[in-house]
Amino acid sequence: MIILGINAYHGDSSAAILRDGKVIAAAEEERFTRKKHWAGFPEKAIEYCIKEAGIGFEDINYIAINSNPKANLEHKLLYMIKNRPSFSLLMNRVKNQKKRANLKEEFRNRFGVGIKVKIMDVEHHRGHMASSFFSSPFEESALFSVDGFGDFVSTAFGIGKGNRIEIFKRIYFPHSLGIFYEAMTQYLGFWKYGDEYKVMGLSAYGEPRYIDIMRKIIILKDDGTFELNLKYFRHHKENIEYEWNDTTPYVGRLFSEELEEELGPARKKDESITQHHMDVAASMQRMFEEAVSHMLKYLYKETGLKNICLAGGAAMNSVMNGKIYTLTPFKRAFIPAGAADNGGAIGSALDIWCEVLGNQRVYKMEHAYLGPSFSEEYIENLIEEYKNPLEKENCEIEFIENEEELCGKVAKYIADGKVIGWFQGRMEFGARALGNRSILADPRRKDMRDILNLKIKHREPFRPFAPTILREHVKDYFEIDDEVPFMEKVFLIKEERRRNIPAVTHVDGTGRLQTLREEQNARYYRLIEEFRKLTGIPIVLNTSFNENEPIVCRPEEALDCFLRTKMDVVVLERFIIRRK
């Protein structure tokens, strides 16, 4: 049974293949187009998944898409009758839905093949819930999906049991925490689609001095939900400029002039960041946490379950995720790799397998290594092609057969303060580099954040770098002992340990950790273990292998990034390339 799942005509378009209920391949289109958050039809991601599965289009039994235009129709009609939104706003929505309705034609135009199988529409938030619950370790769990909007809904509450999902409450357009966070991100001068994570990092530098204003913007209700004070927003009444079709997504201004009257003029794109902006970020993050914890407490009360699965773009807020255990009664939380719309490709396919076909769950997301890999023969030939530019950079090339020797040598480079590009195995699915397309460095160096920003990343100095820690050592360094395989939660680092790992300790004493078991990634585990033997520290600094671009997919992109930056070493499988 082959099921192809896709997230199409939205940001982070992606594709995934299930074989007999197990995810065997998944990738975001941005990794192939090299345009961040690419929106549209995931042509190249589909091609990759088909190739990785070793099948043809004729072998597909079902195609699933994480959107259902027929979902919540009564709420759409009621809203239009009551609020009379602008004609251009309605026409843009109709145009986008028309694209989704012509998927078979899209397959014919892109691939030259006629698709005879049924294309299954999966309600957007059901797809989110399926991506988390059906890949989780839980047999029963409360479910929470929260994002901007999908199928006229921003937030959904549910319960998962076995191979079934029940959604029992929804929050509809125009009320959305995702819109709130995106609007505030724009107000703070970050206009690129997906920049919310930057503001999350900035919030640690401020104080929530404007929380009273935020509580005027978001009103928490007694029934466990919330409402936006719509006078501060434009999305519900005006045609917001946006672009989703085969491009980097763009969303026009979401906040109204009334927001600037409350908080002062919005920060211009290149304007310096002041304490005021930091305090607005801190206030926004605090309000987001209040709203999410308010809803999760309601969800716990309704379900009585101790497990929670979260998904949706707003579930990428790792600071909030790390506070679930302290702000709510839930005891265990699971957030999948690709919790945002990219994960809708996996979720919609899993929903067809479980809900529609009635099959039992057979998949657990224990790792995120679902993308392309490249043979050592391919890499050897590539290095030969790059011979001249590598010689110009005075590089030496070494192939190390023995894996223990390889990891020991690279660990020594890290301990000596070198910045390492680490490329191995299958590319990660989701927003985080998890040890196969990573830049690695020594967490003990106070200056390492500045070195990375100066040499490679060329990004805002307030953004933190993450630690990868061996699973058995988590309780020794963090205030909580939890499994965090996809770098999706931020926890406090023990105060006495912060001086040992300053490069991965944020200004507020936290770290967005990735825990690692040997069975999840043996080579990466061995590298960190070799570093522990050298230094006593079972942690390396891990950031994504890129420079203001999507994470590298192919070894060509890894070499290009190495050559145009001041990285010291790049490791491609068992080839070590080092600047002398």
- Is the previous residue joined to 42 through a cis bond, with omega within 30 degrees of 0? no
**Sign of the CA dihedral 491, 545, 440, 24?**
positive
β-pairing verdict for 510-516 and 466-470: parallel
pLDDT, tens digit, 9 for 90 and up, residues 206-225: 999 999 999 999 999 999 99
Mean pLDDT of the region 253-258 = 98
Residues 106-124, mean pLDDT to the nearest whole number: 92
User: Tell me, what's the pLDDT at 240?
Assistant: 87
What integer is the mean pLDDT of 34-45?
96
Residue 258 clears pLDDT 80, i.e. is over it: yes
pLDDT at 178: 98
Short-list 546, 538, 548, CA closest to 514: 538
Q: How much is the pLDDT for 269?
A: 85
Q: How far apart are CA 489 and CA 262, in angstroms?
A: 32
- The superfamily (CATH) of domain 2-127+342-356 is ATPase, nucleotide binding domain (3.30.420.40)
What pLDDT, on the 0 to 100 scale, is given for residue 87?
Answer: 52
Instruction: Report pLDDT for 101.
Output: 62
Residues 286-339 pLDDT 10s: 999 999 999 999 999 999 999 999 999 999 999 999 999 999 999 999 999 999
**What is the rounded CA–CA span in Å between residue 505 and residue 512?**
9
The values of phi and psi at residue 46, to 5°, are: -65, -45
> What is the mean pLDDT of the segment spanning 383-400?
98
What is the residue whose two structure tokens read 């040997």? 518
Distance CA 259, CA 384 (A): 57
For residues 69-87, one letter each, b for 16 or more C-beta atoms within 10 angstroms of the residue's C-beta and e for the rest, the string is bebbeeebeebeeeeebee
In this prediction, residues 461-469 reach a mean pLDDT of 94
- pLDDT mean over 156-183: 98
pLDDT band at 457 (very low <50, low <70, confident <90, very high): confident
Question: Options 3.20.20.70, 3.40.50.2300, 3.40.630.10, 3.90.870.20; which CATH number does 376-579 get?
Answer: 3.90.870.20
Q: Above 60 in pLDDT, residue 58?
A: yes
Q: Band of the pLDDT at 91, cuts 50, 70, 90?
A: low
Q: What is the DSSP string of 118-161?
A: PEEE--HHHHHHHHHHTTSS-SEEEEEEEEEEETTEEEEEEEEE
**Tens of pLDDT, residues 189-211:** 999 999 999 999 999 999 999 99
Asked if 123 and 149 count as a contact pair (C-beta separation under 8 A), the reply is no
Q: Distance (Å, rounded) from C-alpha 235 to C-alpha 241?
A: 10
AA identity, residue 141: S
pLDDT at position 39: 95
- The C-alpha atoms of residue 4 and residue 222 are separated, in whole angstroms, by 41
The pLDDT assigned to 218 comes to 98
Q: Report the 10 Å Cβ neighbour count for 510.
A: 22
d(CA 380, CA 439): 21
> 313-328 pLDDT, tens per residue?
999 999 999 999 999 9
> Mean pLDDT across the stretch 55-65?
96
52 pLDDT higher than 80? yes
Distance between CA atoms of 502 and 22, rounded to whole angstroms? Answer: 40
Question: Could you check whether 2-127+342-356 and 146-338 share the same CATH topology?
Answer: yes
Domain 146-338, CATH class in plain words: alpha beta
pTM: predicted TM-score of the whole model, two decimal places: 0.96
Domain boundaries, the chain: 2-127+342-356, 146-338, 376-579
